[in-house]
Amino acid sequence: MSSSLALQPQAVSAPGKVFVAGGYLVLDRKYTALVFGLDARIHVEIEPIQTKSGVTLSEIIVRSPQFRDAAWEYGYRLTEGDGGIAVTQLRASHTSSLNKNPFIETALTYALTYISTLQSTPIPPSSISILADQAYYSNPGSPLSPSSRFLNFDVTLPDAHKTGLGSSAALVTAFTAAVLSYYLPKEAFDVDSEKGKSVLHNLSQASHCAAQGKVGSGFDIASAVYGSCLYRRFSPSLLSSLPAPGAASFAAQLRSLVEGDSWDVEIAKAKVKMPRGLRLVMCDVDCGSQTPGMVRTVLKWREQNPELADRIWGELQSGNEAFAAELTRLATEDSGEAGAEKFAKLKGIFEANRKLIREMSKESGVPIEPPQQTKLLDACSAVAGVVGGVVPGAGGYDAIVLLLEDKEEVIGELRKVVEGWKVDGHSEDGVTIGKVGILGVREDMVGVRREDVVIYREWITSS
């Protein structure tokens, strides 16, 4: 291990995501999902903690300076029996309560444990700063300076209203990449290499699932690492045999899992392209869904109605494949067509997929595309230049995603519709969509990447 004096500040960012097709199908390895990365990113910067000569610390300080009271201090030590690195949150004082963050604590535990299997020298202390692009939160904020890309939200994290762009996966991915890039030499970990991305993907999947307390489909980590892609999930059994941190042989088994070839995940970047002249837009809906409960209900319905569910899922899979193929065709062929005529097939695929989603909503009793969102999507899709849209992922009352022609006049007309949006009357489920606004995001084909540490200076020095 290099001395702390030789360690240089590192910064990494990872994109958010939007699940355009395959929201429930992704839970089953028989099906694929179409995920687009977004240019809204979570950024992580890491640098040495300056200590007095002769003073040795085993402490890592993590801050999220855009929010009030968002700081976590961790002690760490190497455990016996190859149990890896034990990370313990420290109290600022004996009277203060612990403000726990399972995603940060677990990502730190897994990353430091992996590092400890590659190098035997002590891990020096460090200071880590986390910053999020504006689109992750609907809270109003203010910049520290006219040139700052980040906002001070001036609320605590529990009071921050997320817009559903996959912040936890982007955080775990960027955090893990930053820690590995900082503590390991480039020959051991290079986030720009295919091997480095594979290690990062596998390690981030393991820690993200552990932090969630369940083995998810992993599409959000995949898009955070690789950007826009067609995704087939890994087998959940891959992670089921991994011991808990601190248990005997956890470190060795984690390294074997991360570096091994047992991962059966399929991530196809080449099968997802954005045609020139088109872009994604997301409209934030001031409402929200409880995704885990919705997923459980849909899976229970599928188990009880296998014939009906398999028919719907099979047709949705065909529609999703047709959607990806048509995007690729439009991106690679010049048909000579223009406007509505050029995108007519794509528009038809959107409508067919939405019809299937509404059927699944009705049959399962889960508001995947609830009537309130149907009205909003129909109104947006009627705008000239809008090809179509869906309620992404698991559905519900979160933000909607639209595919449209990349023209100012189209955005302008769309803005008129959403800013004046109002649903008349009382809905049966008692849910009313509040204010609707266009998020400042679009698709991003690039996944995790290094950043210049200079862009975070004002936030790190002010915290």
Asked if residue 97 is part of any domain, the answer here is yes
Residues 82 and 225 in one domain: yes
Determine contact, residues 358/364, Cβ cutoff 8 Å. Answer: no
In whole angstroms, what separates CA 366 from the centre of its chain? 23
CATH of the domain at 388: 3.30.70.890
Residue found under tokens 């906002």: 151
Residues 383 and 451 in one domain: no
Asked if residue 5 is part of any domain, the answer here is no
Q: What is the pLDDT of residue 399?
A: 82
The yes-or-no verdict on residue 4 having pLDDT over 80 is: no
Question: Tens of pLDDT along 365-410?
Answer: 999 999 889 999 999 999 999 999 999 888 888 789 999 999 999 9
In whole angstroms, what separates CA 262 from the centre of its chain? 24
Cα angle value 17/20/22 (rounded, 5°)? 110
Instruction: Calculate mean pLDDT across residues 350-375.
Output: 93
Asked if residue 458 is part of any domain, the answer here is yes
DSSP string, 29-97: TTS-EEEEEEEEEEEEEEEEPP--TT----EEEEE-TTSBT-EEEEEEEEPSTT--EEEEEEPSSTTSP
Asked if residue 319 is part of any domain, the answer here is yes
Pairing of strands 386-390, 400-405: antiparallel
Most distant CA pair in the chain, distance: 72
Asked if residue 4 is part of any domain, the answer here is no
Q: Residue 420: which domain range?
A: 278-442
- Taking the alpha carbons at both ends of the chain, their separation in whole angstroms is 29
CATH of the domain at 233: 3.30.230.10
Residues 145 and 174 in one domain: yes
Residues 123 and 20 in one domain: yes
Determine contact, residues 273/332, Cβ cutoff 8 Å. Answer: yes
Instruction: Calculate mean pLDDT across residues 269-297.
Output: 81
In whole angstroms, what separates CA 290 from the centre of its chain? 17
Instruction: Calculate mean pLDDT across residues 20-38.
Output: 91
Domain count, the chain: 2
Pairing of strands 59-63, 126-132: parallel
Residues 211 and 87 in one domain: yes
Residues 284 and 407 in one domain: yes
Total Cβ atoms within 10 A of residue 276: 10
Residues 304 and 405 in one domain: yes
**Structure pTM?**
0.91
Asked if residue 165 is part of any domain, the answer here is yes
**What is the SS3 assignment for 283?**
strand
Residues 236 and 294 in one domain: no
What torsion, rounded to 10 degrees, do the Cα atoms 417, 420, 425, 428 define?
60
Taking all residues of the chain, what is their mean pLDDT, rounded to a whole number? Answer: 89
Which pair of tokens denotes residue 324? 């990806």
The yes-or-no verdict on residue 263 having pLDDT over 90 is: yes
Which pair of tokens denotes residue 170? 């982007």
Residues 78 and 138 in one domain: yes
Residues 326 and 402 in one domain: yes
DSSP string, 373-388: HHHHHHHHHTSTTEEE
Residues 96 and 211 in one domain: yes
Asked if residue 360 is part of any domain, the answer here is yes
The yes-or-no verdict on residue 57 having pLDDT over 90 is: no
Greater confidence, 434 or 137? 137
Residues 139 and 201 in one domain: yes
Asked if residue 221 is part of any domain, the answer here is yes
The yes-or-no verdict on residue 427 having pLDDT over 60 is: no
Q: Measured between alpha carbons, how far is 123 from 445 in angstroms, rounded to an integer?
A: 35
